[in-house]
Structure 1
Amino acid sequence: MSIPPPSGSQQPQDPFGPPPANRPQGAPGYGPYGPAAPLGRPYGTPVSVNALAVAALVLGVLCFLPAAGLVLGLIALWQIRRSGQSGRGLALAGAVLSAVGTVLWVVVLSTGAASEVWEAFKDGARGNEVLSLEKGDCFDAPGGLEGDTYDVDRVPCEGRHDGEVFAVVTLPGGAFPGNGKVTDLAGEKCYALQDQYAMDTWAMPADVDVYYLLPSRESWRFGDRAITCLFGDTQAGLKLTGSLRADPTTLDTDQVVYLSTANALDAALREEPVKTPETDLAAHRAWAGQVHDVLGEQIEALRGHSWPADARKPVADLVEDMEDAREEWRRASAAHDADTYFAHYDKAYGSVDGPATVTARKALGLAATPPASGEGERDTSEAQV
């Protein structure tokens, strides 16, 4: 609705005065009441810059989310064309840079250059060697082995040190599985690998525990997939002295053969069912049968090896004890009730780490003091990169 002018209203005065005498009213550039206002924005009004154009340029320069920068640049050009805003050059530059960034990302992902970037990142991390620790390395951790560990210093294993790496496990790619899952995997993998590095379990100090360094969610984004398994002292402030390594790189062939058989038997014994024989006799019978079979394999390995003269009788005596134990495990696997099972179970265990084992170990130059009960059951601890 419009309001008509008051009756008798006079024609408005021309604020610019009458037209020049030599230019008739109505000529181009003049309205019926004077100069015509130009089409578009009045002179002197500031021109706004399209916000999407600015955003596109920023994303293009930083090469961050290049696909988004390209889309924003194209939208900005369309808006500028309709609204008359400024920023066309910014939008063009952002779109071009984002397009280039998108191509580069495709090339990186398709050629495996991402892994090279991660390796370069590790190599360039001066003063932080957590990501490049390898099997056999010894180190000091300024912050200790508990909690998050961001930096370590490699040191010779002969001296005092906080930790010694005994294995590095590489996890498969994909999405980060979560801290809980990574921790579970570390416990499973590291526990299984410790005896391959420190084969002589009797030589392991009682206060040594298994720790591990884990990839964090942040380092996972850069390609970190390494679980670093290591030994450390359980007493706060105490350090390890000397290397704990006892594998084919430090042992002779006779020692390796003997420890391989002993550790295989220990691994089988650790699989004992959690429930009692009274609760689940079938599971215990099956386990006893497995121990019987493992003993048979290890007896054959000991008999088939050519031992040094001073170790032949001690090893032969040990094999006889193993044969007796094997028979008891066989009988336990056939027991019809828990009491009968326990009777053979106790006799079978009586031959484990007995006098014949100590004598054989002494003859082979290995640790000859049995570990205290429970020392082999280590709790594992963790630290995150």
Structure 2
Amino acid sequence: MAVTRWIAVAASVLSLGTLFVAPPDAPMKKTDAFLDAETTGVLGIEATECFDDPAYSRMANDRVVIYRPCEESADNQAFGFVYAPDGAFDRPAVAALGWDRCGAAFGKLWRGGSAEGLDFYPVLPTAETWADGDRALMCVVYRPGGKLPGSVLPLAN
């Protein structure tokens, strides 16, 4: 009888334990606020290159973007740049421009079903980088459900 009770208690504890298990990673929606031109390392990324999401570096005492060869399953891939016109920095207008132009480029590169499972976001200048003449917005493709399986850029015909 004691063994049966012990088994019942153990089963109850195990079933309660599943209430506290972390759920699998949910798909992440990246926005134009995910990273910006002041995120350490992002200015070194060029079109077609892959990189991981920013992570805190004790050495840099900051969040850092690390270049990663696309063959090593990176989090993101830069697929182009668009340029904002000169003028006063207006973040909402620059963000709208980034979503519009990067969205148009994304739509041309990944037509039909080829975009399945992919999404994009723009990386914007900040007021500080804008004051230094930065007008470049990086267009980035990523997979909301996890890492890219390699370069996802369509091959040119």
In which range does the TM-score fall when normalised by the shorter chain?
Answer: 0.5 to 0.7
Which of 201, 206, 209 aligns to 2:119? It is: 209
Give the drift of 1:152. 1.3
1:167 aligns with one of 77, 80, 103: 80
Deviation per residue, 1:264-295 (Å, 9 max, x gap): xxxxxxxxxxxxxxxxxxxxxxxxxxxxxxxx
Q: Give TM-score scaled by structure 2 length.
A: 0.64
Q: For 1:318-329, what aligned pairs fall within 5 Å after superposition?
A: none
1:230 shift after superposition: 0.8
1:211 aligns to what SS in structure 2?
strand
Structure 1 CA distance for aligned equivalents of residues 63 and 129 of structure 2: 11
Query: What SS does structure 2 have at the residue aligned with 1:245?
Result: coil
- Aligned positions, number: 116
**Cα distance change of structure 1 residues 226 and 151 upon mapping to structure 2, 3 Å threshold:** farther
Q: How far did residue 168 of structure 1 move? A: 0.4
Q: Structure 1 residues 240 and 197, CA, compared in 2 at 3 Å: closer, same or farther?
A: same
Structure ranking higher in helix proportion: 1
Q: Which amino acid aligns with 1:224?
A: D
1:222 is matched with 132
TM-score (norm 1): 0.28
In 1, Cα distance between the equivalents of 2:74 and 2:140? 12
Q: Which residue does 2:93 correspond to in 1? A: 181
Q: How does 1:280-295 map to 2 (within 5 A)?
A: none
The one of 232, 241, 246 aligned to 2:142: 232
8 Å contact 1:157–1:242 — kept in the other structure? Answer: yes
Query: Which structure 2 residue ranges, 5 or more long, are not aligned?
Result: 1-36, 57-61
Q: Which has the higher contact order (CA 8 A, sep 6+)?
A: 2
Poorly superposed stretches of 4+, deviation over 6 Å: none
Residues 166 and 197 in structure 1, CA contact (< 8 A), matched pair in contact too: no
State the SS of the aligned residue for 1:181. Answer: helix
Shift of residue 231, structure 1, vs aligned partner: 0.8
CA RMSD of aligned residues (A): 2.7
Find the partner of 2:71 among 158, 174, 179.
158
Deviation at 1:143, TM superposition (A): 4.1
Q: Read off the aligned partner of 2:45 and give its amino acid letter.
A: L
Contact 2:121 2:141 in 1 (8 A): yes
Aligned-partner Cα distance in 1 for 2:44–2:125? 12
C-alpha distance in structure 2 between counterparts of 1:179 and 1:202, whole Å: 32
Structure (1/2) with the larger strand percentage: 2
Give ranges in structure 1 of 5+ residues lacking alignment. 1-121, 252-385
- In structure 1, give the amino acid aligned to 2:107: D
